[in-house]
Structure 1
Amino acid sequence: MQLLGRLEIKSEEKIAQFLNEEHVGRIASLDQDGFPQIIPMNFAFVNGVIYMHSHTRGEKLDNIKANPKVGFEVDKELEFLPSYFSSPTDASQADTLYISVVIKGDGIIINDKEEKTLALNALMEKYQPEGKYERLAPEMHVVDEVAIIKVIPKTMRGKYKIGQHMDKATRMQIAKKILEKNSPTARQTIQTMGFDIIENDVKMVRDPTW
């Protein structure tokens, strides 16, 4: 199997889980001169589509109205692997463990108040799960004060590199070095790679196959 195939996320559930957990995505649209404009946005993934809220005026809205073809991307760096993990002198051995999802699709500005309300409530549920706010209803003025961008995917592909491209011995060795380096994300990365940490040592639990 080629490396690209090994890096592709096969599970739709894993893609949805990743999109539901991450807080920043980037929407790409084409401006009037044909240049891509890329904007970081908060977003919610609901019923297989992406929703974002925006000011009612702006370049990205003009771009989408003129050309609905958009891109949307979400990524997460899990861990930078220094070159010395693999070689004492070869800097090209540095690598990064990551997860990403790339969407190509149609962007739509939503006018229907029921759908706008669904999107806004989904955004609040995601970003403020502790509650302490009043759920929105279609008749509320705030629904008219924001724009909602909807991205309907034509294609959605996920990629991940969490050690599945390595043999088990190498993956174990890398996990132990990550634990020893003890970055702020080390323990979470090790668990994502399919290991548990028991008595400050790494134990394999599962193969990281998505």
Structure 2
Amino acid sequence: MQLVGILQIRSYDKIKEFLNEEHVGRISSIDKNGFPQIIPMNFVFLNDAIYMHSHVKGEKLENISRNSKVGFEADRELEFLPSYFEDPHNASLADTLYISVVIKGIGSFVSDREEKTLALNGLMEKYQPEGHYDPLTPDMRVLDAVSIIKVVPHTLHGKYKIGQHMNPEDRIKLAQKILKRNSPTALKTLKTMGFDVVDDKLEMVGQPIW
């Protein structure tokens, strides 16, 4: 079975929702010797662009100054599926349910103070939604103490694997195995797959549209 198309996230709103929920993304740039450098970063997705804050000096900033072509990705492992779900003797059948977004784009440094303020306040709203801080304003000197990296996507692709490639009977069997294994992420994974658990029993509420 060809899975590439089936695994593609077709909803841009779902991609935005996923990026707004994830707390760690990874930006890749090319160093002076031509090697990729990958750095985990906090980020926010605003106005169809990725924003990250950084120290004003560093290798990734030097890399982007030389070559503005960058990569960015965020991913979430939903559930590891042990091989014995399929065959207790064949370890190659182990699998993973996941969501991921991969971007190829152009990186730059934000100099406009209004946009810089937008990005920093967006980061605060994402990571500290409970508030208890004073929002930044463009006239604050603290804006000069940080760099804001902006990545404008050239291509943006999302993939997800939650059993949508399986027939309904096999999806239910998989969900039952996940429930029985009862990993720390099981209930959240089942909800993502379109199942509720009521009195320790599965109820299908429909396959999510991605």
- TM > 0.5: yes
Q: Which amino acid aligns with 1:153?
A: P
Paired residues, what number?
210
1:49-68 equivalence runs, <5 A: 49-68=49-68
Please state if 1:118 is matched with 2:114: no
Looking at structure 1, the residues matched to 2 and 88 of structure 2 have their Cα atoms a distance apart, in angstroms, of 28
Distance in 2, matches of 1:191 and 1:89, equals 30
Indicate the SS of the match to 1:120.
Answer: helix
Alignment gaps of 5+ in structure 2 = none
Distance 2:43 2:74 in 1: 10
Is 1:69 matched with 2:82? no
Identity %: 65
Residues 73 and 100, structure 1, Cα contact 8 Å, conserved in 2: yes
Residue 197 of structure 2 aligns to which amino acid in structure 1?
I
1:21 partner amino acid: E
**Per-residue Cα deviation, 1:141-184 (whole angstroms, up to 9, x for no partner):** 11110000000000000000001011111111111111111111
Partner of residue 203, structure 1: 203
String of CA shifts for 1:41-73, please: whole Å, max 9, x gaps.
000000100000000000000000100000000
**What does 1:132-147 correspond to in 2, within 5 Å?**
132-147=132-147
Aligned AA (1:16): K
Match of 2:130 in 1: 130
Structural mapping, 1:168-179, within 5 Å: 168-179=168-179
Q: What residue number does 1:20 align with?
A: 20
Query: 3-state DSSP class of the match of 1:143?
Result: helix
Please report how far the alpha carbon of residue 2 of structure 1 lies from its aligned counterpart in structure 2 after TM superposition.
2.3
Specify the alignment match of 1:166 in structure 2.
Answer: 166
State the secondary structure of the residue aligned to 1:121. helix
Q: CA deviation at 1:208?
A: 3.4
Deviation at 1:199, TM superposition (A): 1.3
Q: Quick check: 1:49–1:150 contact (8 Å CA) kept in 2?
A: yes
In 2, the alpha carbon distance for the partners of 1:183 and 1:199 equals 17
In structure 2, distance between residues paired with 1:57 and 1:108: 14
How well do the aligned residues superpose, as a CA RMSD in angstroms? 0.8
Q: What letter is aligned with 2:185?
A: T
Ranges in structure 1 where 5+ consecutive residues have no aligned partner: none
For 2:115 and 2:208, locate their aligned partners in 1 and report how far apart those are by CA, in whole Å: 37
Maintained 8 Å contact 1:80/1:95: yes
Deviation at 1:35, TM superposition (A): 0.2
Query: Where does residue 149 of structure 2 map in the other structure?
Result: 149
What is the CA–CA distance in structure 1 between the aligned matches of 2:148 and 2:112, rounded to whole Å? 10
Determine the C-alpha separation between the residues in 1 that align with 2:86 and 2:167: 14
In 1, Cα distance between equivalents of 2:186 and 2:124: 30
Q: Matched residue of 1:92: which SS?
A: helix
Deviations 1:65-102 (A, max 9, x none): 10000000000000000000111211111000000000
Q: What does residue 4 of structure 1 align with? A: 4
Distance (Å, rounded) in 1 between the aligned partners of 2:207 and 2:132? 40
Whole-angstrom distance in 1 between the partners of 2:29 and 2:66: 10
The equivalent of 2:81 in structure 1 is 81
